[in-house]
Each structure stands twice: as C-alpha cells, then as structure tokens.
Amino acid sequence: MSDADAGGDDGSAGQRADGGGLAGPRATLAKRADCVRSRMGEMARWKADAIVILSTLALVYVLFLVLSWGQGLDANGTANTLARLTFLAAAYALLVLALNLHWGYAGLFNIGVAGFMSVAVFTLAIVSGGEGVGFGLPIWAGMIAGMLAAAALGAIAALPALRLRADYFAIVTLGIAEIVRYLMKSQWVASHNLFGQRVGLQGSAPVQVPSAQEYVYKLFTVDGSPRADPTYIGTQFFVIGEWFGLERPTVMAWGYALFVILFVVFAYLLLSRIAYSPFGRILKAIREDEGAAQALGKPTSRIKIYSFVLGCALMGLAGMLWQASRFTVGADAFMPILTFYVFVALIVGGSGSNAGSIVGGIAFVGLLLQGPRMLQAVISKHTDVPDTNTIYEGVTAFASGEVMPFVGYAIGNIELLQRMFVGVVLIVLMLRRPDGILGHRKEIAAATDLSRPTEGRGSGSAAASGGGGDE
Amino acid sequence: MDASDVRRTLSRLRVEQVLGAILGLLLVFLVVDLFRQLLTGTLELSALRRYVWQGIVVGLIYGLAGIGLSMTYSILRFANFSHGDLLTTGAFSGWATAYVIAGFGAYGLGDLLLVRPNNNPPPGEIGMSITQVPVAIVGGLVLAAVVTVLIALAADRLVYRRLRNESAIALLIASVGVAFVLRYLIAFVFTTSNRSVPASPPTERIDLGFFSTTVDLHEMTLVVSAVVLMIAVHLMLQYTKLGKSMRAMADNRDLAKITGIPTERVVLATWVIGAALAGVAGYLIVLNTGTITYTRGWTLLLPIFAGVILGGIGSIYGSILGGLIIGIVDQVAIVWVPNRLTTAAAFLLMILILIFRPQGLLGGVETA
C-alpha cells in the first residue's frame, strides 16, 4: 500500500521533497518502508490513513514547538501559533481535497480555485451581510447560498471542459477566476437596490463578510468577543485553558480551528465514500482512459460535470470558512497565487489520494507557508541583523567581507525567498517525484480489494506496484 | 430548399450553434450601439480613435510576446506559464542597462543597476527618453533580449529539457514553478516597489499639409521596433532553413526527426527567438506605460494567452492578429463596460473562442 509506504518516510517528506536523497539512505528507507508496509497492510484503510495524517501533523507540531521555543514564546503564544497553523492547514486540506476531486479523480485541470472561493465568499456577504452589504439572513443560509453559487459557476465552467484539452481548460478556468475577480471589484456589483434593501460589494474596497467564526466564538462568550461574559461551555474551556496558561482568545482560536477540522473530516469521508462508489469507479476509468469508459457506455460527460460541480462547492465552503474569518474581504484576496498554492499542496501530497491531499495541505502550510516566517522571527530574535535597504548594499558589504548586511536583506525579504522556494519545490517535484508523497495512479477500483491476499503475506514490492486500495 | 430541409436543419441545431447565434446577435447589437453612440454624440470620434490607437499599441506588445508563447506551444507542446515572467526579466534587465549607460559615473551604481529602487535619480534628469540619450534606450533594448534569452536557455537546460517526453500538463506545472522562481528572484533583487522608469515621452508635431498630428515618440519607438521584429520573424520563418525546420517540427515532431532535422537545435532556436521577443516586449511596454514592477509580466500573461488562443495556437500570424484584437477589445470595451471590466471582457472573448472555435481565427494550422 502506498499509504503504508509513506508511513515509512512521511517524516522526511519535506526534506525529501527538495533533495531526492542518496542511494544509500534510500535503500534503507525502502527496506523500512517495506517492513512498515507489511505491518500496515493488514490494517483497515482508514486506520492507515489516519496514522499517516496524524504523524505528519505531529511532526509539523514538533517543528513549530521548537521554532516557538526559539522565538521565546510563552505557553499562550505557542498555543496561539499552533492554533493558527492548525486552522490554515485545515483550510488548505479542505481546498486540496476538493481540487483532488477535480484533478486527481476526474482529470480536470482546474487553476481557477481562487475564483470559485471568491464567488462563494461574496455570495455569503450578499446573503448574510449586514447593513449596506447584504440582506442579513442567517449565516447558514448564506453559506449554503455560497456553496450553491460556487457550484453554479462550476457548472458553467465545466461545459467547455467536455470539449477542451486539459491545458486549454486550465487557461479557461484561470480566465474565469480573473473575470470573477474583476467583476467583484467593478461598479456593476458595487451597490444595488434589491427588494427594498441596499446591497452590494462597495467596489474595490474590502467589505465586511459575516463569518462562521463569530458563531463559534459565541459558544464561548455571550457576544463573541473575548472580553464579554463567558457562556456555560465557555467557562469550562477557559478554566481548562488557564491550567495551561492559555488566554481566552487562544482557546477560542482553537475552537474555530477544530470547527474547520470537522468540515475536513466530513469532506474526507464524503470523498472516500465517493471514490468507492460506482460513481468513483467511473471517475477513475475516465481518468485512465476516457475513450474506453465511453465505449463501455458510461455517461462520462455527466460524471465529469457532477464531480466538477461538487468540487467547486467544496472550494466555496473552504473559501467561506477561511477567508470570511478575516471579517473584511476584498476581491484582491483571491489572486491566482492562491490557486497555485493549493496546487503545490496537492502535488506535494500527491494527486489521486485523499489522505495525500490532507498530508499535502499540512506539509505545505507547515513547511512552506508558515515555517519560513517562524524561522525569520527566530533568526531576527537571536542575531542582531542590520536593516539593509537594497541587495546592492548587501552584496557590496559581502565583497568587503561583511556577511551580515546581506543576511539582513535576506531575512527582511524572507517572504519573497519563501515564494521562490515554493517554485523550486514545484520544479523538483515535477522532475523527481511527479506523484508526490502519497500519490499513485495505480489503485484498485473494485469495492473489495482484490490484491489483499498477496499483501497479507507482506510481499512489499508486489503490493507497491499493484497498488493498495487505499483511496 | 423546401420545408422538410429547414425542419431537419432546425432539429439538428446543437446547443453551441444556438449559443453562437445569440453571441453573433450580441456582437451586431454592440456594433449598432457603437454607431448610435457616435451619431448621438455620447462618444466622440476622437475618443474612439484614441482607444483604437492605444489598443493597437498594446496589441502589438501582446502580439510580439505572443509569437514566443505560440512557438513554445507548437514546437515544445506545452502552455508556458513562465512566459509572462520572461517579459519582466526583459523589462528589468533592459532598463538596468539603459540606466547604467546613461548615468554611469554620475550616480551611484546601486541605484542604476537596480533601476532606482529608492526613487533616485529622477528619470528626466538622467535622460531616460529616446531624444535625450537614444543610445541608452537602444542599448537597453538589445540587452533586454540578450539577458532574457540567457535566462530562458538556463530554464530549458535545468527544467524543460529533462521533461521533454513528459505530458503537456507536467511541463505546464513545471513552468508555473519556473515562473515563481523567476518572479520572486526578480522581486528579491530589484525590490517590490512600483516605480516610474522612463522620462515623460517627447512629442513631435507632424505636418503633412492635408493631415497633421502630434505623435508620442516613445509610442512610435514601440510601434516601429515591434513591426520590424515581426517582419523579421516572418522572413526568418518563410525563407530560411531554420524556419522551415521549425514549421516541420510544429507539424509533426517524429517525422521531422526521421527526416534528419536536428530537433534539439530547433528547440534551442525556438527559445532564443521566443525569449528575445518576450524580453523586448517587456522592455517596450515599460517605455509605453512608464512604470515597472515585478508582477508586470505575470499580469500580461493572460491577455497574451488570450491573443494566442484567439489567433490559433501555433500560428505566428494568428498570434499577432489575436494580440491586436485583444489589445483593441481591452481598450474599446470601455465604451460599454466600466473601467475595471475591460480586461475581463478580453478574457471573456478568449473563453468564448476556446469554446466555439478552439482552433482559433486562423485556425487549424498548427504550423508557424
């Protein structure tokens, strides 16, 4: 089983991503992976998945604990950092799961993720937003409407998908996402009188978007702000938090992170269920050979549209859970780079694997997104780096034997280096490991795993090439 | 044609045909509306002429950059998402050269090499216009092409060559990675600030007796360079052996190989020509718009793609034509839609073309 394979080397996932490894360590690693594989081969699929996901999460947590300690954060600060990490990882995992349904299962190369998120978020703003923005309906109605809007846009976008080559389709989806972004900023949706209410997105300025976060926070205190009176449930959790030295906002942030995780679990279960349904089998057949699936009389077009629409709805959901929690959102929060981040996370995890999607989300947020920023804080705390304005000053100082000005410039611009590093990781993955950490295209489509008897005897290589039925 | 024929045609109508007819009617409506606006005076003729001219200027840039994109698409068979960042590479390397030529010795080398990251020296003072120090502007143009070619060849050697036999999607994803590396490397070196680079454009009054107008000399520089380069590419493709091999390779790679065409050398030439044109396009667009920033090329990528798709992927003339159309739509759409939506209108045109005529306007030809 490939999941088991990753069970052996998930820890080195990040490091492996950019190195590829030498022959020696790789051989030992493979032996160890074989051993783990034979043990995990007997496990249920979900158990093996859970182990891989949780061990990745644990490793990223350990890394962040070390970095927080290096930064000199107290217990509250550390917990807050971890809450932020967990929340972002969950948001990315949800997005990657949805994208995996498109690219990993249906073979639809969608690079308009940001557009589908944005449509959902702004629909939420119109339906549930307050005075001057929206109609002020309950948040659940807004979130359902948001998902429906994203699904509807997905249905429109999927129509050309049936006729186009994958790379043309990619350009179409990117174009749609950009059109949506320009539209949301335009005067056309800035302000309208609808049903006697003044609604609109106010042009290019960010608008206030209602968030599920507010409602989760209201479980803890009466009006959702940390300073207000705690509710009955809130009192219990705040007391537990105090034992560990956590302040109220930290406890509440963890509450929301866990709320988002609930949705990830739900999406994972849904998508795993789909993957093993007749519907999922047709999806895999389409991905492998669309002509053959068609020849067998499968309604390939319809199936592709359904899966695309479902994935778009999930992207909308993720967008609302993530971006809306900033309270004010502008159209420019949905630049194409967001889409590419999700794609990198998918490729890190490996397309075609639901567990891999979650692992990819966690690894991306931990190692590529938040990690470098933490490292920046640690370095600038412990070393006295000078502020350097331009790279020229850094390089000239370097030539005269001073290293620090250059280091100062690099640390000051670590976000640029981080994005560059994302690009490097993407290239190296495509060159060395196009299937990602957990990705694999060979998997059993049958509901019962036909290869299990041989796996049970622990013949690792046969299992690897035959593919476990983990997704 | 009798009634049964009509009925048969009607019953065979496909969804796309119906949608296409609706779109055609919409287009007719827009054209009629344009005349109405002109006649009623809502839109002045001089304004429309200005929009169209601006559209042609921008469209020439799209076309120039589109040639390279189209060539990599037809010969290397993938959508190169790092093409936009080749424009940025050309813009920064070219303007750095121009600044160094014009201001060497008089100003700090750091300010010159990094294209005034601290908004110093002022472009007017250093002479950044075609009339003040023409040698700097032309030198920048040449270096923009040279540096961009070197960067593109490095990317090919390090990344694309190793993926030569992979699928188009694998190459596309790798090119996104290359785009990230290039863009943020440029941002890291040249800083992220958005600054104005050329001096305000000099103008010249032309009087031909029956017709007189004032021309912006920077705009003229752009138009002349772009047209000359396009003609050069046309001559190269039609009348040299290299051009013939390129067209052969775009047509059928395997057949080209067994005919004895050195495919790797053709690929090299593709990168050289495509990247040089991209670098020059990036340099010239800054001459026209006046400001430079590291995301410039990336924001231009989608309009360039739109032009290439409109003209028909793989067709050089198609990408020039498509670029011009996209440029004009981008400017003239202001007659009907709000300011911010003109680019969206151009993208919409691209999507519609992809759906209804995936082979493009000059379609079918996957040859240069």
* pLDDT tens-digit readout, A159-212: 776 677 778 888 889 999 999 998 888 877 777 777 766 777 777 778 888 888
Q: Is residue B47 part of a domain?
A: no
Structural domain including B281 reads: 52-356
**Is B19 inside a domain boundary?**
no
Mean pLDDT of A22-37: 58
In this prediction, residue A312 carries a pLDDT of 94
Chain B residues in contact with A175 (beta carbon < 8 A): 302, 306, 347-348, 350-351
Rounded distance between C-alpha atoms, residue A245 and residue A242, angstroms: 5
B183, B89 Cβ separation under 8 angstroms:
no
Between B172, B182, B302, which is nearest A175 by CB?
Answer: B302
Kindly report whether the peptide bond that precedes residue B121 is cis, defined as omega within 30 degrees of 0.
yes
Q: What is the mean pLDDT of residues A261-270?
A: 93
- Mean pLDDT, chain B, integer: 86
Task: Name the residue of chain B whose CA is nearest to A347's CA.
Answer: B173
Closest CA in chain B for residue A337? B180
CB under 8 Å to A155, separation ≥6 — which residues? A305, A308, A309
Q: Does residue A447 have a pLDDT over 80?
A: no
Collect all residues of chain A within an 8 Å Cβ-Cβ radius of residue B118. 389-390
Provide mean pLDDT across the span A466-471.
38
Per the domain annotation, does B10 fall within a domain?
Answer: no
**Confidence at residue A461, expressed as pLDDT on a 0 to 100 scale:** 40
Phi-psi region of A375 (alpha: psi -120 to 50; beta: other; left: phi over 0): alpha
Going by pLDDT thresholds of 50, 70 and 90, the confidence category of residue A341 is very high
Residue B224 lies inside a defined structural domain of this protein = yes
| Residues B343, A178: C-beta atoms closer than 8 Å | yes
Tokens representing residue A290 in the block: 């669309």
Q: Give the Cα separation of A56 and A360 in Å (integer).
A: 9
Residue-level pLDDT at A330: 83
Q: How many CA atoms lie within 13 A of B91 on its CB side?
A: 36
Q: Which of A113, A188, A398, A426 to mutate to test the interface with B (most CBs of B within 10 A)?
A: A426
Cα–Cα dist B341/A358, whole Å: 37
Q: Does A205 touch chain B (CB under 8 A)?
A: no
A465 touches chain B (CB under 8 A): no
Query: Taking CB atoms and an 8 Å limit, are A419 and B118 in contact across chains?
Result: no
- 3-state SS class at A228: coil
- Indicate whether B14 belongs to any domain: no
**pLDDT of A311 over the 90 cut:** yes
Provide mean pLDDT across the span A310-325: 91
Residue A423 to residue B338, Cβ atoms within 8 A: no
Q: Which residues contact B196 (CB under 8 A, 6 or more apart)?
A: B123, B290, B291, B292
- Which of A178, A204, A347 minimises the CB distance to B347? A178
Do B36 and B365 contact (CB within 8 A), yes or no? no
A445 pLDDT more than 60: no
Beta bridge partners of residue B291, listed in sequence order: B196
pLDDT of B277 over the 90 cut: yes
Distance from CA of B253 to the nearest CA of A (A): 19
CB-CB under 8 Å, B344 with A431:
no
Those residues whose C-beta lies under 8 Å from the C-beta of residue B2, and which sit 6 or more positions away, are none
Asked whether residue A26 carries a pLDDT value surpassing 90, the answer given is no
- Quote the number of domains for chain B: 1
The whole-angstrom separation of Cα A328 and Cα A87 is: 18
- Which candidate, A7, A88, A50, places its Cα nearest to that of A367? A88
pLDDT at B322 over 60: yes
> What pTM was estimated for this model as a whole?
0.85
What's the pLDDT score for residue A25?
A: 57
CB–CB of A328/A207 below 8 Å?
yes
How far is residue A240's CA from residue B6's CA, in Å, rounded to a whole number? 79
What are B212-261's pLDDT values in tens digits? Answer: 777 888 888 999 999 999 999 989 888 888 888 888 888 888 888 888 88
pLDDT in tens, B180-194: 999 999 999 998 888
pLDDT band at A145 (very low <50, low <70, confident <90, very high): very high
The predicted structure's pLDDT at residue A243: 83
Under 8 Å between Cβ of A387 and A405: no
Higher pLDDT pick, A353 / A22 = A353
What is the Cα–Cα distance from A444 to A462, expressed in whole angstroms? 13
Question: Which sequence spans correspond to the domains of chain A?
Answer: 2-382+413-448
As given in the structure block, the two tokens for residue A23 are 């022959």
A103 has pLDDT over 50: yes
**Minimal Cβ distance to B117: which of A183, A185, A390:** A390
Q: Could you give the percent of chain B with pLDDT greater than 90?
A: 36
What ipTM was estimated for this complex?
A: 0.87
Average pLDDT over residues B303-309: 90
The band of B80, judged by pLDDT with boundaries at 50, 70 and 90, is very high
Tell me the pLDDT band of A21, cut-offs 50, 70 and 90.
very low
- Distance separating alpha carbons of residues B264 and A1, to the nearest angstrom: 40
pLDDT at A438: 63
Best of B19, B77, B163, B184 to disrupt the A interface by mutation (most A CBs within 10 Å)? B184
pLDDT attached to residue B229: 94
Query: What are the Cα distances from residue B116, in Å, to A124, A142, A395, B219?
Result: 44, 48, 16, 23
> What does the pLDDT look like over A37-70, one tens digit per residue?
555 555 667 777 888 889 889 999 999 999 888 8
Contact list, B191 vs chain A (CB under 8 Å) = 390-391
Amino acid present at A235: T
Phi, psi of A23 (to 5 degrees): -65, -40
Residue-level pLDDT at A40:
56
Domain presence at residue B3: no
pLDDT at A6: 39
State the helix-helix crossing angle for A414-432 and A371-382, rounded to 10 degrees: 140
B366 domain residue, yes or no: no
Whether B178 maps to a domain, the answer reads: yes
